[in-house]
Amino acid sequence: MTDTRRPTALDLPEADPLPGPTAKYFAVCEEKLGFVPNVLRAYAFDTAKLDAFSAMYNDLMLGDSALTKLEREMIAVVVSAVNRCFYCLTAHGAAVRQLSGDPKLGETLVMNWRVADLPPRQRAMLAFAEKMTRASAEIEEIDRDGLRAQGFSDRDIWDIASVAAFFNMTNRLASATDMRPNDEYHAQAR
């Protein structure tokens, strides 16, 4: 069932009518997901902002990278756990459950990623993302060297940092506007 309430606490109605490309994008979401994610609906009051958000998201989460889609979603969840972002924990926790095929992993990352059964490589990646979230000014070469020791290239480190930075921004926006996750996320991949 599609959530029809406002996606945020702000009174920013969707453009009416939605421009053709945006309407088509929303139709693809409906077809593939069964709903339009509220984060997209929240941006739909200004399609230029929606396009910029979507382009950055798609580049970071779906673009070329040595990081797997699952690893990028894991970073999103760990950053969102530190920031206590209800929207992103719900939506990206569902993505981790779906991509991993492991509902326990999705829940563990939401609650406390340190107790998850993860290989050292992913533990190093998530520790870096967490430190970046809690104290980015304290990142030093030893932190990057720790990632290199686990086989991450400098490009991979850029990708880890970019995904963590993006979700730090979106977490803050979602929290500030009381962005609510679609109800459908709660039951996905359980």
Q: If you average pLDDT over residues 109-114, what whole number do you get?
A: 96
* CATH class assigned to 69-176: mainly alpha
Long-range own/partner contacts, residues 144-149 (CB < 8 A, 24 or more apart): 149/124
* Alpha-carbon Rg for the chain in angstroms: 17
Amino acid at residue number 88: C
Give the dihedral sign, CA 139/142/147/152: positive
Residue 4, pLDDT above cutoff 60:
no
Residue 125, pLDDT above cutoff 80:
yes
139-171, pLDDT tens digit by residue?
Answer: 999 999 999 999 999 999 999 999 999 999 999
Mean pLDDT, the chain, rounded, equals 95
Instruction: Look at residue 187 in the predicted model and tell me its pLDDT.
Output: 83
57-76, pLDDT tens digit by residue?
Answer: 999 999 999 999 999 999 99
Other Cβ atoms less than 10 A from the Cβ of 99: the count is: 18
Closest CA to 39 of 86, 83, 78, 1: 86
pLDDT band at 188 (very low <50, low <70, confident <90, very high): confident
CB 28 within 8 A of CB 58: no
Instruction: Look at residue 68 in the predicted model and tell me its pLDDT.
Output: 98
> What is the distance of C-alpha 140 from the center of its chain?
25
Q: Which helix or strand (DSSP H or E) is residue 27 part of?
A: helix 20-33
What is the CATH code for 20-62? Answer: 1.20.5.810
Break the chain into its structural domains and give their ranges. 20-62, 69-176
Of 2-11, 24-33, 40-49, 157-166, give the lowest mean pLDDT range: 2-11
| Token representation of residue 75 | 């970073």
Residue 3, pLDDT above cutoff 60:
no
Residue 1, pLDDT above cutoff 90:
no
Same fold, 20-62 and 69-176: no
